[in-house]
Each structure stands twice: as structure tokens, then as C-alpha cells.
């Protein structure tokens, strides 16, 4: 490892998280047994090989599912508040490991250290949320139309929950799913992104400690590092009651269709194409902060990243000039160096997509007011650093309709709020949206049934950085799934309606007579 890395203490971080130079990428609780090919994990910060991982093959998958099935038989018998206690202990462990895990997220994925730590904070928050929830898995009671009858509904665990997560939130999205799945009495099988396997191994090591300390079966939490074949196993396996998938719309379409084909359940959290409307009544200082963080945070690689700014014509030039100035102050570099605002993209493929999108944007008529480009030189030797850029476009351009996972921000001008809302909604995706305004009428119109068509609609806040307490997800090609807060737990359970007759006769519903 280079001296530079040791300056950031990465070696120690890896050691604290139980990661060595050679790792096993199949974990069923604390047990490791991978038998597939080797995978290498590189940091986009410096292009350095961090470690190699033995991946899962099909027989590893089968073994994990068998373990998960038997763990479920035991875990479902544990009362929900006691399952909450396990999640509480997991949250405490995450607090202990927050610095190390946050740093590993930053190093392996390339998001800023602050954002890496923020991601672990989301994990801690969802644990706290789930602990309380473990005592509130309520169903309704109803009045029966028959005398001496009682009706109610209750929620039971589903069984095995499969989680397929993306590189951009390598730990938090797993925890949104697991914290809820576990308190609901399910066991989980995780296929993390192949781009961030070490983050997954670290998480699995932490939960394994908790399971061991509580004498619980190892198969409650499982993790398989592998390629698309492992994903396909999960998607097509009848043993997997729910598949929660985070990734592209293209892959999500296949996942959703195949899971539905076998009558499984799925939660799809797919692409976004999020816009902020900046009205003539906006606080422009706030708008600039919200827009810049939304567009360049995580180097534009959040599903919730701000991709489009829809700006009223009267403030358009002012906003544009302020943005150009703000972009001029951005510091790009190693994500572990806290003076940098923007880290690298995940890999060279992502850089290629960024370049292609810029090219297409130009061809389709886009006018760049802040130029993009790939950075080179000693500090950028991984080849993954790009300049956040801004282009003036029309919403109808093919490239603007498409989600590019990179810091490219599009500016669009509008005259009336109705037109702005139509532009905001005029894309295939429907994840996050925002309006910046101090005018109540504008804000309420945006939030009304004729306003934003997205799963998330904010006022005077950007499009990214959603809190875990709300239901997270979106409409249209974003897939319709919801994760994390509110009553999302219901996705992780099966609902049962119970009618009990405590009389000595058998009256039929709907007044039907059936005398023998």
C-alpha cells in the first residue's frame, strides 16, 4: 500500500473491519465458504488494488439458501420486540464502527468522507427506527357484520428477503432493507454490487458479531459477492419471497418481470431524473446551495442527484451566473481529503458514460456554460476524476430524458409554473423533485395532485438527502417501490385477515341461508 494511503489510515481501517488482502465473499452469518472466481476491488481514489475476494457460485448460493431457510424457522418464532433488540444491538455496533465503515465507503466507492459517514449514520437511524417499529407491527380490527364474530388482521413474516444493491450506497440501502426485514421476522440474502464488495463484507462481519453474541442462527443474515448470475438465482428462486432491487431501470425491468412471473414480491428502486424548479419567488442563496449539492454530491451518482434545474426566466441569468461562480470554487480530489467537495466517479466505464453524455448533449444542441472534462495529473492518476459541468438544454433532448450517473447539470428556462411542472414531470422517471419558492401558492400547487408526479416532492430543499423516516422511492420508470420509513414495513410481511366465530351457530356472511 502506498505511503499516501497510510496517511489516511486505510490499512488500520481494513483491519478493524476484519478485511484482509484475500477475502471470502460468501458469508452466512460468521461462516465463510466461497468457491467461485476471484474478484478484485480497486479504489477509484487512487486506482489501487485494495483486496481480492473469492466470489460465490451456484452451489454456494444453494448452500446459503438452505441455511437461510432453516434460520427462518427459528427466527420467526422470536417475538418481534426481541428481534428489535437484535437490531438495537446492531445499531450500537454501527456507532462503534462508524468511523471505520464510513472511511471504507469513502475509499472503496469514492464518495466524500463526510458522505461516507453520513451513509453509516443512515444505517444507525434506520436501526433506531426499526427498534421502535418492532413493537408497532399493527393490523386493523374490524366490526363483523355477524353477531358473535370478531375480525382482525395480522402480519406475518415472509421468509427469505433478497437484497440486490448498487455501488452508490454500498451500505445504507442494505440496512434500510435488513433493519425492517429482520424486525418483521425475515432472514436476508444480500447480493452487493461487485464494485463495492469490501463494504458488504465489513457489514456482514459486524452483524455476524451480533448474531453470535445472541446465539442466533448464522443464516439470519447472508451475503454473496458474485456477478449477475447470483442476481438471477435470487430473482428466479421461489424460496425468495421478496426481492428488493436497487439499480438501473433497464435491469429493474427484467427483475420486476421475472419476480412477478413466479408471483414473488419485489421492491424496485430504479433510475431518477430529478429536477429543482427555481421560481421567481425563490431564495436564491438557498437555491444555489441545494442545486450544487444535489448535482455534484456523490459526484452526481445518487439516484436522487439533481440532474435538471427548471428556472424562471426572470431569475435565469442570475442563477446561471451564481452557479458558474459556485462551480469555479469546487475542489475535486481524493474523497478522504476533507477539503475536497467532489471525489471520483466509480470507475472508467462511468467516466466513458459521462464523456458520451457530454458529447450527445452537444450534438443535440446543448450549450455548456461550465465545461466538463476528465482530469489528469498526479492527484488524478486513477483516471476516474471528472469536472462537474453545466449545460443549457431543452427538456426534450434525448440525453436530458436519460439518467447519466455523473455530475452533469442541465438548465431549462420556463415562463409559467404550469409549464415548469409539465417540464419537471416530462421525463420517464419519477423519483425526486423540488421547488424553491417563498410563495405558498406556488409551493402548494407543486405538491397538489396536478403538481409533481414523483415519489418525493420537496419545498425549499434539494432533491437528494432524504431522511430515513419517510417512504423512499418513486413512480413511473423509477419502479414504484418504497423503502425505509413510514409504513414501508408492510412490504416485508404478509397480511392475514382473521374472522373468529365465538357463538354456537354458523351464520353465513351476506345473509345467505344454508340449512341442512
Q: Provide the 10 A C-beta neighbour count for residue 504.
A: 6
Lay out the site mask for ligand UN1 across 94-133 (x = CB under 6 A, - = otherwise).
----------------------------x-----------
| Closest approach of ligand UN1 to the CB of residue 1, in Å | 30
| Closest approach of ligand UN1 to the CB of residue 466, in Å | 3
Is there binding between residue 246 and ligand UN1 (CB under 6 A)?
Answer: yes
In residues, how long is the chain?
A: 516
Is there binding between residue 306 and ligand UN1 (CB under 6 A)?
Answer: no
* Residue with Cβ nearer ligand UN1 (219 or 343): 343
Binding to ligand UN1 (CB under 6 A) within 421-480 occurs at 464-466
C-alpha cell at 388: 462537474
**Residue in 54, 146, 302, 482 binding ligand UN1, rule: CB under 6 A:** 302
- 418 DSSP β-pair partners: none
Number of residues located near ligand UN1, criterion CB under 6 A: 11
| 303 is annotated as an active-site residue | yes
Please choose, out of 107-115, 228-236, 299-307, 382-390, the segment that lies near ligand UN1 by the rule CB under 6 A: 299-307
Q: Which residues of 159-186 are buried (b: 16+ CB within 10 A; e: fewer)?
A: bbbbbbbbbbbbbbbbbbbbbbbbbbbb
Q: Provide the 10 A C-beta neighbour count for residue 363.
A: 11
* Residue with Cβ nearer ligand UN1 (185 or 474): 474
Contact between 298 and 111 (Cβ < 8 Å): yes
Contact between 124 and 98 (Cβ < 8 Å): yes
CA–CA dist 462, 293 (Å, integer): 8
* Residue with Cβ nearer ligand UN1 (34 or 466): 466
**Residue in 16, 106, 168, 279 binding ligand UN1, rule: CB under 6 A:** 168
Which spans in 76-112 are helix H? 80-109
Determine which one of 108, 119, 269, 477 is catalytic.
269
* Residue with Cβ nearer ligand UN1 (279 or 306): 306
| Closest approach of ligand UN1 to the CB of residue 405, in Å | 10
| Closest approach of ligand UN1 to the CB of residue 295, in Å | 12
- Give Cα 341 to chain centroid, integer Å: 21
* Residue with Cβ nearer ligand UN1 (169 or 414): 169
Please enumerate in sequence order all residues whose Cβ is within 8 A of that of 250, keeping only pairs 6 or more positions apart, or say none.
none
Q: Which residues of 131-146 are buried (b: 16+ CB within 10 A; e: fewer)?
A: bebbeebeeeeeebeb
Determine which one of 199, 303, 361, 384 is catalytic.
303
* Residue with Cβ nearer ligand UN1 (60 or 122): 122
* Residue with Cβ nearer ligand UN1 (30 or 465): 465
Edge-to-edge strands of the sheet including 389-392? 367-370, 389-392, 408-414, 306-312, 274-278, 432-436, 456-459
What does the DSSP assignment read for 300-326? G-STT-EEEEEEETTTHHHHHHHHHHH
CA–CA dist 211, 221 (Å, integer): 9
Binding to ligand UN1 (CB under 6 A) within 171-190 occurs at 173
**Residue in 304, 335, 424, 478 binding ligand UN1, rule: CB under 6 A:** 304
| Closest approach of ligand UN1 to the CB of residue 464, in Å | 4
Residue 4: its H or E element: helix 3-7
C-alpha cell at 263: 408471483
Q: Which residues bind ligand UN1 (CB under 6 A)?
A: 122, 168-169, 173, 246, 302-304, 464-466
Catalytic residues: 269, 303
Amino acid at each position: 500500500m502506498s505511503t499516501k494511503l497510510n496517511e489516511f489510515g486505510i490499512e488500520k481501517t481494513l483491519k478493524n473491519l476484519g478485511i484482509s488482502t484475500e477475502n471470502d465473499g460468501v458469508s452466512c452469518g460468521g461462516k465463510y465458504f466461497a468457491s467461485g472466481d476471484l474478484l478484485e476491488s480497486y479504489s477509484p481514489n487512487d486506482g489501487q488494488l485494495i483486496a481480492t475476494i473469492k466470489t460465490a457460485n451456484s452451489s454456494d448460493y444453494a448452500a446459503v439458501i438452505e441455511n437461510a431457510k432453516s434460520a427462518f424457522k427459528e427466527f420467526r418464532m422470536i417475538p418481534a420486540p426481541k428481534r428489535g433488540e437484535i437490531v438495537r444491538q446492531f445499531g450500537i455496533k454501527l456507532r462503534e464502527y462508524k468511523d471505520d465503515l464510513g472511511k471504507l465507503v469513502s475509499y472503496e466507492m469514492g464518495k466524500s468522507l463526510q458522505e461516507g459517514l453520513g451513509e453509516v449514520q443512515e444505517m444507525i437511524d434506520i436501526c433506531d427506527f426499526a427498534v421502535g417499529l418492532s413493537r408497532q407491527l399493527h393490523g386493523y380490527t374490524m366490526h363483523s357484520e355477524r353477531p358473535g364474530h370478531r375480525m382482525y388482521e395480522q402480519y406475518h413474516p415472509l421468509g427469505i428477503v433478497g437484497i440486490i444493491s448498487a455501488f452508490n450506497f454500498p451500505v445504507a440501502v442494505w440496512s434500510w432493507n435488513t433493519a425492517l426485514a429482520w424486525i418483521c421476522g425475515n432472514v436476508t440474502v444480500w447480493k452487493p454490487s461487485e464494485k463495492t464488495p469490501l463494504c458488504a463484507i465489513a457489514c456482514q462481519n459486524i452483524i455476524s458479531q451480533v448474531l453470535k453474541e445472541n446465539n442466533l442462527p448464522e443464516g439470519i443474515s447472508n451475503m454473496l459477492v458474485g456477478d449477475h448470475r447470483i442476481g438471477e438465482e435470487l430473482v428466479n428462486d421461489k424460496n425468495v419471497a421478496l426481492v428488493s432491487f436497487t439499480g438501473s431501470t433497464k435491469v429493474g425491468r427484467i427483475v420486476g418481470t421475472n419476480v412477478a412471473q413466479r408471483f414473488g414480491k419485489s421492491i424496485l428502486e430504479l433510475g431518477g431524473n430529478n429536477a429543482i424548479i427555481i421560481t421567481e419567488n425563490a431564495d436564491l442563496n438557498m437555491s444555489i446551495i441545494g442545486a450544487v449539492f444535489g448535482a455534484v454530491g456523490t459526484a452526481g451518482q445518487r439516484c436522487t442527484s439533481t440532474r435538471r434545474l427548471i428556472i424562471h426566466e426572470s431569475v435565469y441569468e442570475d442563477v446561471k451566473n451564481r452557479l458558474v461562480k459556485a462551480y469555479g470554487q469546487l475542489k475535486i480530489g481524493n474523497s478522504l481529503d476533507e477539503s475536497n467537495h467532489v471525489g471520483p466517479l466509480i470507475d472508467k466505464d462511468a467516466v466513458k458514460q459521462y464523456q458520451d453524455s457530454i458529447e450527445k448533449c452537444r450534438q443535440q444542441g446543448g450549450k455548456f456554460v461550465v465545461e466538463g472534462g476528465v482530469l489528469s495529473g498526479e492527484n488524478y492518476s486513477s483516471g476516474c476524476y471528472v469536472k462537474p459541468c453545466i449545460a443549457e438544454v431543452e427538456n426534450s433532448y434525448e440525453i436530458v430524458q436519460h439518467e447519466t450517473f455523473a455530475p452533469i447539470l442541465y438548465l431549462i428556462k420556463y415562463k409559467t409554473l404550469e409549464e415548469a411542472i409539465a417540464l419537471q414531470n416530462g421525463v420517464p422517471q419519477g423519483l425526486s423533485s423540488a421547488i424553491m419558492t417563498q410563495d405558498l401558492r406556488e409551493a402548494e400547487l407543486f405538491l397538489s395532485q396536478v403538481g409533481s408526479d414523483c415519489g418525493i416532492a420537496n419545498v425549499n430543499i434539494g432533491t437528494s438527502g432524504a431522511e430515513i423516516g419517510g417512504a423512499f422511492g418513486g413512480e413511473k420508470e423509477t419502479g414504484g417501490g418504497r423503502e425505509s420509513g413510514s409504513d414501508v414495513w408492510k412490504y416485508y410481511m404478509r397480511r392475514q385477515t382473521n374472522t373468529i366465530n365465538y357463538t354456537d351457530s354458523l351464520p353465513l356472511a351476506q345473509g345467505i341461508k344454508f340449512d341442512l
